[in-house]
Structure 1
Amino acid sequence: MMARLAGKRVMVSSWFWIFSLISAFKVKVKTGEDVLLQCQAPRGAAIELIEWIRPDLKSDGYVFFYRDDHSYENYQHPSFQGRVELKNPQLQDGDASVILKNVTINDTGTFECFVGNQGSEPQLISTITVTVPPPGDAAGHKNEEPDGNNRGHVGLAVVKVKTGEDVLLQCQAPRGAAIELLEWIRPDLKSDGYVFFYRNDRAYKNYQHLSFHGRVELRVPQMKDGDVSVILSNVIINDTGTYECRYISSNTGGTEPVTPQLTTITLTVTDSGGGGDKDEGKTDEVTKGREEEDVNVGLVAALSVGTLLLGLVVFVIIAQHLKQAAYQLPPEKLGEQPPV
């Protein structure tokens, strides 16, 4: 089976055009916790097949396998049976993410999500590197502040998208948590303003950076299951940069302390249709036209000056001739003799 999976991965590049969004995540989680493995297909995609795999596993079996509206546990690797479920069973808005429960140190590794729609070959959508340190390992507490406040899982993602498209900036709070504050920021922006700001059950447009006005909205307005992802619409080249999601949450009962957490996404926006080349071509045409116009003007000017000089020479010659004619003796009258 793994040989067949490897074959599918080889075919991914030929189907790259189907989905424009590919994500790469790095997640660190502690043993015994649940971890969200994010995978986002295009919104509205008719998903027929989902394959979650661990390429580094030596034995056959999927992490998760879904086809024709059903998941198949008998296709799973034994170590994942009973521990993986879809985050969104209805696959709403193309969400093919899964939740891996009760993680162990053996879950450390690379997870890949392939999605197929309408009979196409499965295509790679996201790659996630999960690190699960051994219990008690100091590395397992790198996400905690010195004061003991746990920042939770720090997610790192790399996303590429083309101009004019919409992009999902994913951020996941604990399921069932009550979100009290949500901030999406661009640390590299020199001016003030948020990408998105939410507090007290509402978003505040006046707190946003002007370039993001009217272009950012919550993917799930009610933030169901802790989904605090946002959709950035109609992306432009200037949207390239680093985005950070920060939120403060507590459980619905209010017995847990407030927990600030962080997710970082590096977004790269490329030109969708060579618009820059077109503009460059237009510029070249304009420049060439101007050069031709300058040549024509120069030629006309040179001809005009030449004509003027030629006319002046002719005028001088004629004037000299007339002058000489004016000083000649008058012709002798017929029959008269010159005086002696």
Structure 2
Amino acid sequence: MSPLSPSLWTLLWTLSFCVPVSSPEVVRLTAELGDDVTLKCNVTNKGNIVVVEWTRPDLDPEYVFLYRDGRSDPDEQNPSFKDRVKFKTDISDGDVSLILENVKTTDSGSYQCRVVQEGTNSRKEKSILKNGLIRTINLKVVQKVVRLTAELGDDVTLKCNVTNKGNIIVVEWTRPDLHPEYVFLYRDGRSYPDKQNPSFKERVKLEKTDIRDGDVSLILENVKTTDSGTYECRVFQRGTNSKKKRNTDSIRTIKLKVYQKGEKEEGGHEEGGHEEGGHEEGGHEEGGHEEGGHEEGGHRALHLGLMLSAAVLVSTVVGVVMFRKRSPYRPAAKEPSGPGRPGGPEQV
């Protein structure tokens, strides 16, 4: 058989790159603000684990958690994760899952898990780490949203609680659509009515005078139709930040709808909301769920389909080439025309 033409070699060479290689597992995960989430990662080979890397490539430094030589290395860790991450369990069985506590909206991002086991590679440590990607987790942190309905003239309680029982020095209740936006401002042990939007003057107060237990719920009295809107609760605690500045993460968002008396009975509740509390919005991103998330559907089936397609295409091309080489094309003999050709009409 004669050698393949250059164009055919080019085609086969290109097809060889169409067969995909197995890629690290990708998981999508959603969590609500303030929750603790588990970023799952497991090693199939039960060898001695010498290095575990959890990273966020978009951050600098990128390390969420770094474990090597039998201990964690907080010096390499991004400061935003300090005292908020830990292993889920003993890693000797290959489970290097990470617990991320009290998640913030800024924790949304792509997390990568890498593991180095003793004897897996003789090259320098850094090159081994970069080749050991096991899993990528795309985390989305969403705000807790409560829908609340009330009748005109009612007193309503806007619930908000702090999970960490630290010393509370600032409490902010705001309506971002108003100017000034403050519904209620508490700082250094007292309220600041001069910063408050005039429409809430003498109509709001903390549900508890002692907020050391973390309950910073707000009572809004004699509600008006103009009180309908989105309320945000923010808290700043001493020791959570070296600088005394506003915490941009709202703990809770409440959407309040005030009805005229009798209107609610005619129109029903707004999107399932209930007076004095409401309920949190459901729904998760792309099928992901808390405490593990959901594997991206169909990516393995796609790989298999592409591999089969490429194999069939290569086999077809090679088969056609071999057939042509063994059975060279020969033009058919030109049939005689006119009277007297075999099978032609008899002459009269």
Range of TM-score over shorter length: 0.3 to 0.5
TM-score (norm 2): 0.39
TM-score (norm 1): 0.39
Highest CA radius of gyration, 1 or 2?
1
**Structure showing the higher helix proportion among its residues:** 1
